[in-house]
A and B are shown apart, each in its own frame.
Chain A
């Protein structure tokens, strides 16, 4: 089973602090499925404002984490092609429970479809086996120069 530590993830994804939302990848099966971990700590800047009196992980940051894992998964298929996954659309995001500091997010990404120009990934975020959020993400396999400088963008 292939796993990736944080320094290896940083070689694959262009995201950096404070926007890198994957700490470890604990499972990868080809380009079909990946499982990642994001430890949620109160020491992250978005908790300053979200909210001052009650720390809740912003839903869009959970979506960002799912998108980064999905992009990382598709990059395994693309690494020899020179193309890069760009997030094209987000569908059917459901927020099931709040995620708070101290939680460890388990992120699961499964490739639903991977054709020449498009990739579709179903993602889940779980805390201790309980579903916190789910989303369906579509990526375009871009050869655009703008995307070349920013893998996984926007």
Chain B
């Protein structure tokens, strides 16, 4: 299943900080998304002028947006998830313009504890680029 994200109103992050182009797969266990990294993005002007590298914190942002999309698709309008901790991030390899960042996030929902734990493997093709663990507080929306 590939969902082009056409209805951006359901996503919380309009440009210029969008780090989610497509949802590739969505199950109760997690979500897979892609972000196509282009040299034609504003932040590359400054990161870095002579040497474009996709900022590492934007890989974290991509996982965060995947987690938000997971929550929005699993419980449309019903659950609010707030990022409480970036538990750990390991950067393994730099991401360059022209590469496609693939996020494979496992989402462990513990509604009784009001927690969502997300662990994501981030890769470009077969090359691992980062491993990210995030923690959310979840509660009913409204």
A residues with CB within 8 A of B = 14-20, 45-46, 48-52, 58-61, 63-64, 67, 87-95, 135, 146, 149-150, 153-154
Contact = CB atoms under 8 A, between A and B. Distances in A.
B16 A60 contact: no
Interface residues of B, number: 37
A154 B61 contact: no
Given A60-B58, A60-B60, A60-B61, A16 B94 contact: no
B91 A88 contact: yes
Contact of B47 (A19, A52, A60, A87): A19
A14 B61 CA distance: 22
Contacts, number: 112
Contacts of B17: 46, 49-50, 58
Given A49-B15, A153-B94, A154-B94, A90 B88 contact: yes
Contact of A150 (B15, B51, B83, B85): B51
Interface stretch (B26-34, B38-46, B73-81, B113-121): B38-46
B85 A16 contact: no
10 contacts: A17-B45, A17-B46, A49-B16, A67-B57, A92-B86, A92-B87, A93-B85, A95-B83, A153-B48, A154-B55
Contacts of B60: 60, 63, 90
Interface of B: 12-18, 42-43, 45-51, 53-61, 64, 83-91, 94-95
Nearest to A17: B46
A98 B46 CA distance: 25
B91 A89 contact: yes
Contacts of A61: 57
